[in-house]
A and B are shown apart, each in its own frame.
Chain A
Amino acid sequence: MEILMILTVGVLFTVATYMILSKSMLRVIIGVVILSHGAHLLFLTLSGLKQGAPPLLGEEASAYTDPLPQALILTAIVIGFGITAFMLVLAYRTYKAHKTDNLDELRGTEDE
């Protein structure tokens, strides 16, 4: 299972890198979102997938699953959600102001 998860993470990082390097604003943002999913999945996998009973009072088991990564990933997902919403609005405003979503046309300074 771990191998499969790690491979998925690898695919997600690859796709995200490809998307972030493209020239359309929206694709870049989708790339960032996929990158965040990759990072969260990596966290879940590296800290050990299900290793025993849920860590609840009253559960009698020899091993318990570590609850910390899930709490942390939840926090990271919420943060990522907020930032994605902000990024989309900012991208829309940029598009309205510049009439283009091609990042190649959104660079340089007046001096050049």
Chain B
Amino acid sequence: MNNLVILPILIPLLMGVILIFFKDSKSVQRTVSVISVGLMIAVSAYLTYIVYTEGIQTTELGDWPAPFGIVLVADLLSSSLVALSSLLSLVCLFFAYQTFSAERERNFFHPFFLFLMVGVNGSFLTGDLFNLFVFFEVMLISSFILISMGSKQYQLRESLKYVIINTVSSMFFVAAIAYIYGVTGTLNMADLAVKIGELEQTGVISVIAVLFLFVFGTKSAIFPLYYWLPHSYFAPPAAIAALFGGLLTKVGVYTIMRTYTLIFPHDQTVFQILLIFGGLTMFIGVLGAVSQFDFKRILAVHIVSQVGYMIMGIGIFTPLAIAGTFYFLAHNIIVKSALFLFAGVAEKITGTSHLKQMSGLLKTHPYVGWLFLITALSLAGIPPLSGFFGKFALIIAGFDAGNYFVIAVSLATGVLTLFSMMKIFMTSFWGEVKMPDPQAKDKKVGSLLIPILPLVALTILLGVAAEPFMQFSLELAEQLMDPSEYINSVLNKE
């Protein structure tokens, strides 16, 4: 029992409610949201430290004992993801301050930004399946508002599709919860793990597992459920796209990781499905990226391809593969948002995000170019940057498990990723200076780069100091692969 676990949910919730009343004061909005995100980072870092030294922490809400009440659980996976997402939200917030119009900030950007963090942190921390649905909805409805804010023509129609697809998958989430409640009579994840382990009718469990895969697959954009993502993540401004690209699909991946390691680890067929879909997702995603000629669109389609790697890691399902998946997940949260922010910077300079309309950025803004190159190479998995080690662990794990085909696909995908990243670099940064806006050369964007710097530094750090981080990931993977510690600490069995 530790009340610290609820703070990452409570802080943004309270602050967001307060901010609704200070709609017109820009300075109050900004200060309060920076303070609350700062508090979130501090609390979640401390929580991760506590979990690392003392083991899994739980909070029983309302003091109802575990399988009956709602329980919040912080293990290594969830607490470190909360810390990462809080850090990312601070970066996006500072980027938003410099790019957003005053009108956008006045129209409840800050409260919904904080409510989005409530949903994200809550989804990471909850230990109850229905509560997960509720936090998903909190996250989704805030994201609906953030994505449609601004009401441009293109934005409106793409957010409508985003809303409808996500709502349909949420309804299937309710149906899946209904099935699992009908079969087991419980919704507490630890209790579910125990009860499903004791059940003998595995056919029903397979159906439920596939239904959950459909739901979480839609949220995390795996093949063939990814079609909504490239268009809708293209629509919002860079700071919001970075937050969505970095976090929202990763919440879907997190839920797949959590449910498949904890609730459905016995079902071999589902892991085969995950492997196949992982391979298809990464390959088709990267083909989509290769065919695009727009900065933001390439990045958006790349999200799909990167999610494929994580799904593959979960499908291989060995401790090393899970460790690699987490490492890759953390790397991807950092790098993907940094790249989206770079797209925002390039758009701010040139006034367009289409690659054919801009070139020569390296001559006019060298720092942007080189920092982008580091991040892009990290995404493509070039050593010694962080992308390499995540992929390396996944590939080694795949070889150990004998999944040669999917490994071959992932290597081919890596080459194509490098190709599409270099396409951005070569067309928009190399070459003669050519931009639609004639004053573009002299635009100063130094202050825009400051929020991105920590992300670039982190990807270098994750790569250069891979040893301790990999050690941490391995410990995390062991905790996931052996759910008994999770189950015991939730159900208070010693």
Interface residues of A (CB under 8 A from B): 20, 25, 28-29, 32, 35-36, 38-40, 42-43, 46-48, 68-69, 72, 75-76, 79-80, 82-83, 86-87, 90-91, 93-94, 97-98, 106, 109, 111
Contacts and interface: CB of A to CB of B under 8 A. Distances in A.
Given A43-B175, A106-B160, 14 more contacts: A29-B164, A35-B168, A36-B167, A39-B172, A42-B175, A42-B178, A43-B174, A72-B177, A83-B141, A90-B144, A90-B156, A93-B151, A97-B151, A106-B157
Contact of B167 (A72, A83, A91): A83
Nearest to A86: B144
Q: Is the interface of A mostly helix, strand, loop or mixed?
A: helix
The 6 closest A-B pairs by CB, nearest first: A46-B182, A43-B178, A39-B174, A106-B157, A94-B156, A39-B175
Interface string B139-167: 01100110010010100110111011001
B141 A28 contact: no
Interface string B8-50: 0000000000000000000000000000000000000000000
A46 B151 contact: no
Given A86-B163, A93-B156, A32 B168 contact: yes
Interface residues of B, number: 35
Given A83-B141, A86-B141, A35 B171 contact: yes
Interface stretch (B129-137, B316-324, B389-397, B436-444): B129-137
B178 A46 contact: yes
B231 A109 contact: yes
B334 to A, nearest CB: 29
Contact of A90 (B163, B175, B182, B187): B163
Interface string B176-188: 0111011001010
B168 A20 contact: yes
B128 to A, nearest CB: 10
Contact of A69 (B156, B163, B181): B181
Q: Is the interface of B mostly helix, strand, loop or mixed?
A: helix
Contacts of B168: 20, 32, 35
B164 A87 contact: yes
B293 interface: yes
Contact of B174 (A25, A28, A40, A83): A40
8 contacts: A38-B171, A39-B172, A46-B178, A82-B141, A83-B137, A86-B145, A87-B164, A94-B156
B177 A43 contact: yes
Nearest to B130: A72
A30 B164 CA distance: 11
B182 A98 contact: no
A18 to B, nearest CB: 13
Contacts of B174: 36, 39-40, 42-43, 76
A46 to B, nearest CB: 3
A107 B400 CA distance: 44
A25 B182 CA distance: 34
Contacts of A42: 174-175, 178-179
A30 to B, nearest CB: 11
A80 to B, nearest CB: 8
A68 B231 CA distance: 39
Of B163, B170, B174, B182, the most chain A CB neighbours within 10 A belong to: B174
Contacts of A79: 134, 137
B166 to A, nearest CB: 9
A22 to B, nearest CB: 12
A36 B171 contact: yes
Nearest to B230: A109
Of A47, A79, A82, A97, the most chain B CB neighbours within 10 A belong to: A79
A4 to B, nearest CB: 17
Nearest to A106: B157
A11 B180 CA distance: 21
Contacts of A91: 160
B456 to A, nearest CB: 30
Interface string B403-441: 000000000000000000000000000000000000000
Contacts of A39: 171-172, 174-175, 178
Interface in B180-234: 181-182, 185, 187, 231
B167 A46 contact: no
Contacts of B181: 43, 46-47, 68-69
Contact of A97 (B137, B153, B182): B153
A35 B167 CA distance: 10
Given A25-B160, A43-B177, A86-B144, A98 B153 contact: yes
A86 B174 CA distance: 20
Given A36-B171, A90-B148, A75 B134 contact: yes
A98 B157 contact: yes
Of A28, A68, A82, A83, the most chain B CB neighbours within 10 A belong to: A83
A32 B163 CA distance: 11
Contacts of B140: 83
Nearest to B159: A90
A97 B156 contact: yes
B284 to A, nearest CB: 18
